[in-house]
Chain A
Amino acid sequence: ELKVEQNPLFLSMQEGKNYTIYCNYSTTSDRLYWYRQDPGKSLESLFVLLSNGAVKQEGRLMASLDTKARLSTLHITAAVHDLSATYFCAVRDRDDKIIFGKGTRLHILP
């Protein structure tokens, strides 16, 4: 059974700083997703990573995938308050189910 682990689960950081969220998964997969969720809101798709070595960037967020290490990272550059949210990593298993991690609650202090 595919398991997805994110760390850290909680992160409080200062504006302007850089940080990385890690996502490990337990079995081979060909698709990894990053979502953002604001309190009381639904999930907003950020990135879809489909191949080993894939790197995608949008604004201050950059996601990468290492399928051999079963690891994805979401890097935040020069954080701003608007990026405060919960970030979920999700991985597709061989039965075509999307399995989510527990999420990383990010709080960016002004």
Chain B
Amino acid sequence: EAGVVQSPRYKIIEKKQPVAFWCNPISGHNTLYWYRQNLGQGPELLIRYENEEAVDDSQLPKDRFSAERLKGVDSTLKIQPAELGDSAVYLCASSQDRVGYTFGSGTRLTVV
């Protein structure tokens, strides 16, 4: 069984540029999460989806971040425009039963 797949693995962009991350969760997992992990810190939740509905986006900085989950499967997270402080690892996770969670390998974003 394929795990949670994220792309790209690494991204370097200049500040003020847009960037997008993609996540393909495990088949059948209805719940999808985007987390941000700063260096030396634990992951922090940005948004949670149940199928295609964003049920918790209270931590998403909506002035520059947006997310969508097409047909309740794949999801994209976008930042526009990126700032230096957005440099972090962006992790996607999925769950079938909201007991066990599987994380993807993450996208390491560097904003210069």
**A→B interface (CB under 8 Å):** 4, 31, 33, 35, 40-45, 48, 50, 88, 90, 95-103
Contacts and interface: CB of A to CB of B under 8 A. Distances in A.
A46 B100 CA distance: 10
Contacts of B43: 43, 88, 100
Interface string B9-46: 00000000000000000000000010000001111110
Contact of A97 (B41, B45, B93, B100): B45
Please tell me the size bucket of the interface on B.
Answer: 20 to 34
B98 interface: yes
B106 to A, nearest CB: 5
Contact of B41 (A45, A48, A90, A103): A103
Interface of B: 33, 40-45, 48, 56, 91, 93, 98-106, 108
B48 A45 contact: no
A42 B42 contact: no
A75 B106 CA distance: 28
Contacts of B98: 96
Given A96-B56, A97-B56, A43 B103 contact: yes
A97 B101 CA distance: 12
A98 B101 contact: yes
A9 to B, nearest CB: 9
A96 B48 contact: yes
Contact of A42 (B33, B56, B100, B104): B104
Contact of A45 (B44, B45, B101): B101
B41 A42 contact: no
A92 B42 CA distance: 14
B45 A90 contact: no
Contacts of B99: 31, 48, 50
Given A43-B43, A43-B93, 15 more contacts: A4-B42, A40-B108, A42-B104, A42-B105, A43-B91, A43-B103, A44-B103, A45-B100, A96-B98, A98-B45, A98-B101, A100-B42, A100-B44, A102-B41, A103-B42
